[in-house]
Structure 1
Amino acid sequence: MSHNNKGLAVFDLIGRVFLAFIFVFAAIGKIENYHGTRLYMTSYGVPGGLLPVVIAVELLSGLAVMAGLWTRWAASLLALFSIAAIAIFHQNFSTMSDQIVTLAEVSFTGGLIVLAVNGPGCFSLDAFLKRGKT
């Protein structure tokens, strides 16, 4: 996203960091509770061997979005990851809490799609690297 006003552009940075924070935080939680997360995944029919990939996607893509590096790709990957998580893990709507978690996942996905389409803004490594090439 490009802003004529650099003061407003700082909100692109803040938004990216806020949006990606949950993925980094979730990856760290999965590392800290590796065995429990693996059991949770397998209870839904997801092979436990995919857990390192899940952690890598969340952690590396989350950090990339925060930094604004390869932002469109990282945001797209996290959006696809979120869609898969919704389809696999968030099918229970029996309680308000379950509904809110699912809707939060949908909201994150929407934000990631917007970021993938509009880009990271001028306060990003992508913008810095682009300026260096011109």
Structure 2
Amino acid sequence: MPRSAELPSLAAKLEALFRSRPGRPYSNQEVSDEINRRARGDGTTVSASLLQQLRSGSKTNPTVNTVEAIADFFGVPAAHFLSGSADGVLPEERALLESMRDNDVRSVALRANGLSPDSLRMIISVIEQARRLEHLDENNDGT
């Protein structure tokens, strides 16, 4: 079997992303609504029906702008859809991607960018203390 036949399809990668949210999968409509709410300067909009066609595999060649808009929504690089892994996400990236979907977590990470190592250590210490106070790391070592 040729190597290209072994690679997961765009539909499979999209389906994995739609199902990546804990609790319940994203719906086509909510993804479409959020992409269109964010409407980038290039005028790209994505309909729920287009998302359904891409997920089902009935449409397999979206525009670059569409791929970029979908990738932006899910917090993955557009190249995710070109990679050869089963869902385009490395196992060690999965937890990070899931946590970065939370706007508050993303905000903390973005605001910490560029701080000195000493400042970052102080912030990590504060976060670790807050996690202990909220009993979030009782079943692991907190790292």
TM interval, short-chain normalised: under 0.3
Structure with bigger RCO (C-alpha 8 Å, 6+ apart): 1
TM-score by length of 1: 0.28
More helix by share: 1
Which of 1 and 2 has greater Rg? Answer: 2
